[in-house]
A and B are shown apart, each in its own frame.
Chain A
Amino acid sequence: MRRLSLIMGLALVGLVVAAAAVSLVWTPYDPNLVRPPDRLLGPSWSHWLGTDRMGIDLLSRLMVGSRTTLMVGVIAVCLAIVVGVPLGLVSGIRRGWLSQLLLRVSDIMFALPALLLAILLVAVRGASVATATWAIGIATVPVFVRMAHAATLSVMAQDFIDAARSCGTSSAAIALRHVLPNIAPIVGVQASASFSSAILAEAGLSYLGLAAPATTPTWGRMMRDGQVDLFLTAWPALAPGLAIAVAVLGFNLLGDGLRDQLDPRLREFR
């Protein structure tokens, strides 16, 4: 059963990654080609997922859109990890007023909805995928600060930390060699969970028109465009919605599966 969620997660994430990779060299149709005679077709052999109101092939556009989805997710989560984990680690090991300040600031950021931050950034820098990525990444930093801090505190309370110190290990070496490997599984699981939130956030921002311009195919934007014709055909809105669901489910399952795999206590004796 433990393996099942990992395999399902890998399969779904693999599907999205494969779609993105293939779209770099090949898509069934030009994702920007407007063909008015083919507008609002249902799924068929020639158009697997049908076409939108402009006659653009939905599958081709979804494939290209997956690139934006993955890119935003990867960059935003990496940003959050690179900034958040070291801050959480240090604040967990060195407890002082600076750590307290840091934690209070991330509490305040927690209370601030990510969407509000995104709108603020968009107002300053204009709507673009890059702005959306920054906004999502910054909004995710406190998640990792909090999580790394809590995980570090629980690791630091363990006997093996005292044992390492009694062998003459310095604080920095303890952080890198003992604490970081012990919190890595939790960071990994959180990264996968945050990845799916980032995908949702990007879709939401695109849907509101706060991320990508109309020419860039993104899943959220496609949903927004598709809802206009919802009474004629559900496909233009349903297809990107399903794609988002698949990606989110995939990363959540992957996170669960990874947690079980990364825990050395669950590994079998070779």
Chain B
Amino acid sequence: MSLLEVDHLNVWFDRGRSQVVRDLSFSIDPGQRLGLIGQSGSGKSVTALAIMGLLPESALMSGTVRFEGRRLSGAKEAELAQARGRDLTMVFQEPMTALDPTMKVGRQVAEVIRLHEESSGRETRRRVIEMLDRVGLPNPDRITDAFPHQLSGGQRQRVVLAMALMLGPRLVIADEPTTALDVTVQAQVLELLDVELAAHRAACLFISHDLAVVARVCQQVMVMLDGRVVESGPVRQVLSQPIHPYTRGLIATARLDLARPGSRLPTVEDFYAGGQL
């Protein structure tokens, strides 16, 4: 049985006037990593929020989301809250804003434990420090008492990862987890995510607009365009034999090393002009 099953998902904003996700269906098996790529505004993040049940009240949604056979779409808020943070968790894009500025980071990580398990204060603190250590933060016992603004972007993203991995979830939805980081930190955080996902045998829906990053982390990939999946399959196959012109464009623009010096750089529009599919 699949871990996550998304069936005919549609999401509308603006009182149904603009459709952001169109008839999206896919599934993720336990431990499987699925990449979701596409440009800004293609509906990737909205898909993630829809799975988590975090869409704003103004959004309309149809279709079903099942996690381990249980229906998440249309479930009661309390039921969803129980699953969130324990069975399925989310890593947000912006480490600068994903942490509460008024709360010490240790308490924010501890919150995940307190919400789902009985744990004494001392035991909780020990687990938090252990987790901060695991995600590669130096002086974890000092960092646990720091406020978010006292940490760098990379450190904050490690804290966000620690929150997402704390209780050993079965599915982690990572929404552009490295986009806001510089390239060296990005590589470190990806490595960490790779190791931790493997250690927990957690599945992952990895959202990105960066082909290279997706190729590093995932086995399967879906290409999303204007709310629709236009191509999907194993990463290697999609990258070597892209079928859809949009995918070909994405790959060409990512391989700048193949461009001849002095010639114009390729753009997605050279391959795919847009318009109706």
Q: Which residues of A contact B (CB under 8 A)?
A: 95, 158-160, 162-171, 173, 177-178, 181-182, 184, 264-265, 267, 269
User: Most B CB atoms within 10 A — which of A95, A165, A177, A178?
Assistant: A165
Question: Are B101 and A182 in touch, CB under 8 angstroms?
Answer: yes
Contacts of B89 in A (CB 8 A): 166-167
Complexed CA–CA distance, A44 and B163 (Å): 69
Chain A's closest residue to B52 (CB) is A166
Binds A, one of B26-34, B91-99, B125-133, B229-237: B91-99
Choose one: A95, A162, A163, A168; the contact of B81 (CB below 8 Å).
A168
Q: Which residues of B contact A (CB under 8 A)?
A: 49, 52, 54, 57, 77-78, 81-86, 89-90, 92-94, 97-103, 111-112, 115-116, 146-147, 149-150, 160, 163
Complexed CA–CA distance, A164 and B85 (Å): 9
Chain B's closest residue to A184 (CB) is B102
Complexed CA–CA distance, A162 and B94 (Å): 12
Question: Are A168 and B97 in touch, CB under 8 angstroms?
Answer: no
Contacts of B163 in A (CB 8 A): 163, 167
Complexed CA–CA distance, A162 and B85 (Å): 12
Contacts of A264 in B (CB 8 A): 101-102, 147, 149
Question: Are B54 and A169 in touch, CB under 8 angstroms?
Answer: no
Cβ contacts A to B, 29 pairs, < 8 Å:
A95-B57, A158-B97, A159-B92, A159-B93, A159-B94, A160-B97, A160-B99, A162-B49, A164-B100, A167-B85, A167-B89, A167-B111, A167-B163, A168-B82, A168-B85, A169-B81, A169-B111, A170-B77, A170-B78, A171-B77, A177-B111, A178-B100, A181-B100, A181-B103, A184-B102, A264-B101, A264-B149, A265-B149, A269-B146
Shortest B99–chain A CB gap in Å is: 6
Shortest B54–chain A CB gap in Å is: 6
Contacts of A165 in B (CB 8 A): 52, 54, 81, 84
Question: Are A163 and B112 in touch, CB under 8 angstroms?
Answer: no
Choose one: B57, B97, B100, B160; the contact of A182 (CB below 8 Å).
B100
Chain A's closest residue to B109 (CB) is A167
Contacts of A169 in B (CB 8 A): 81, 85, 111, 115
Chain A's closest residue to B102 (CB) is A181
Question: Are A162 and B147 in touch, CB under 8 angstroms?
Answer: no
Shortest B145–chain A CB gap in Å is: 9
Chain A's closest residue to B82 (CB) is A168
Choose one: A166, A178, A182, A265; the contact of B84 (CB below 8 Å).
A166
Contacts of A269 in B (CB 8 A): 146, 150
Question: Are B81 and A170 in touch, CB under 8 angstroms?
Answer: yes
Shortest B49–chain A CB gap in Å is: 8
Contacts of B111 in A (CB 8 A): 164, 167, 169, 177
Question: Are B85 and A160 in touch, CB under 8 angstroms?
Answer: no
Chain B's closest residue to A94 (CB) is B57
Question: Are A167 and B115 in touch, CB under 8 angstroms?
Answer: yes
Chain B's closest residue to A266 (CB) is B149
Shortest A12–chain B CB gap in Å is: 29
User: Most A CB atoms within 10 A — which of B86, B94, B102?
Assistant: B102
Given the interface pairs A166-B52, A167-B111, A169-B111, the reply to whether A265 lies near B81 with Cβ below 8 Å is no
Question: Are A182 and B82 in touch, CB under 8 angstroms?
Answer: no
